[in-house]
């Protein structure tokens, strides 16, 4: 039986709380982003919202992982986490395909969003939120010397990168009005989505990293 100090319990509870906070935030971000992405006809913002919902599935696996390693830090990834990884990986691949096809179509038809103002706002909030989550998760991971929790922080860092892609594409479109910029943002999100999907299936074969 593993014995934890009071400090260990504190940081395991912090890690679990951060995982739950990530899930709740992604649900809200997904709803808002997809709504405004649809209303403003912004592919990048709509795709960003879809990614947020995929991150919710991932987040459930991560929360389960934190509970597992709290009970036994040396335990291996269990069937629940592997299932979460498979579902997340497939969802990322589907999102990748949808973003690529939609981006090419929008460029071909010279489609332009009505505005990308909300893309700027949402991405800015996301960058701040994800930055704070990365910092807090890394702090918990270092205190516990836990590779899975540190790996979870790196997963959250990828979400921050995707927020930067959305901010750049939305901001450039608002300033320039160049129609294909929004579609280029969608292709940028597709690249990250494909990378995350690939990583999910690689992690199923390994017990070393988190269920991201």
- Domain-located, residue 209: no
pLDDT of residue 121: 98
User: How many Cβ atoms sit within 10 Å of the Cβ of residue 129?
Assistant: 19
Separation CA 35–CA 202 (nearest Å): 33
Separation CA 14–CA 141 (nearest Å): 10
**Low-confidence residues in the chain, pLDDT < 70:** 1-4, 207-212
**In Å, how far from its chain's centre is CA 46?**
14
pLDDT of residue 66: 87
pLDDT of residue 17: 94
Separation CA 41–CA 113 (nearest Å): 5
Range of the domain at 147: 6-204
Which one, of 116, 115, 123, 103, lies nearest residue 164 by Cα? 123
- Domain-located, residue 211: no
State how many domains the chain has.
1
pLDDT of residue 211: 43
pLDDT of residue 56: 94
Return the sign of the alpha-carbon dihedral for residues 54, 23, 66, 130: positive
- Domain-located, residue 1: no
Q: Are 58 and 88 in contact (CB under 8 A)?
A: yes
- Domain-located, residue 73: yes
- DSSP annotation of 129: H
pLDDT of residue 4: 67
- Domain-located, residue 88: yes
- Domain-located, residue 210: no
User: How many Cβ atoms sit within 10 Å of the Cβ of residue 176?
Assistant: 9
- Domain-located, residue 79: yes
| DSSP count for the chain of H helices, then E strands | 6, 0
Answer left, alpha or beta for residue 3, where phi above 0 means left and psi between -120 and 50 means alpha: beta
- Domain-located, residue 212: no
Start-to-end CA distance of the chain, whole Å, equals 27
User: pLDDT for 133-150, tens place per residue?
Assistant: 999 999 999 998 888 888
Burial class (CB in 10 A: 0-12, 13-18, 19+), 178: exposed
Residue 41 Cα distances to 85, 113, 127, 151, 169, angstroms: 31, 5, 22, 35, 14
């Amino acid at each position: 039986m593993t014995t934890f100090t009071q400090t260990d319990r504190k940081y395991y509870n912090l890690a679990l709380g951060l995982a739950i906070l990530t899930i709740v935030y992604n649900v809200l971000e997904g709803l808002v982003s997809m709504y405004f992405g649809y209303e403003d006809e912004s592919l990048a913002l709509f795709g960003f919202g879809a990614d947020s919902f995929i991150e919710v599935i991932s987040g459930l696996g991560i929360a389960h992982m934190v509970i597992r390693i709290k009970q036994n830090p040396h335990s291996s990834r269990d069937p629940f986490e592997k299932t979460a990884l498979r579902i997340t990986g497939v969802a990322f691949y589907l999102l990748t395909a949808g973003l690529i096809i939609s981006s090419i179509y929008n460029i071909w038809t010279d489609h332009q969003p009505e505005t990308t103002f909300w893309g700027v706002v949402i991405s800015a909030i996301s960058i701040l939120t994800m930055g704070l989550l990365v910092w807090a998760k890394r702090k918990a991971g270092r205190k516990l010397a836990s590779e899975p929790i540190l790996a979870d922080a790196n997963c959250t860092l990828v979400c921050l990168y995707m927020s930067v892609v959305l901010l750049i594409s939305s901001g450039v479109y608002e300033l320039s009005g160049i129609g294909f910029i929004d579609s280029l943002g969608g292709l940028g999100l597709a690249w990250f989505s494909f990378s995350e999907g690939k990583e999910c299936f690689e992690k199923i074969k390994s017990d070393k990293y988190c269920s991201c």
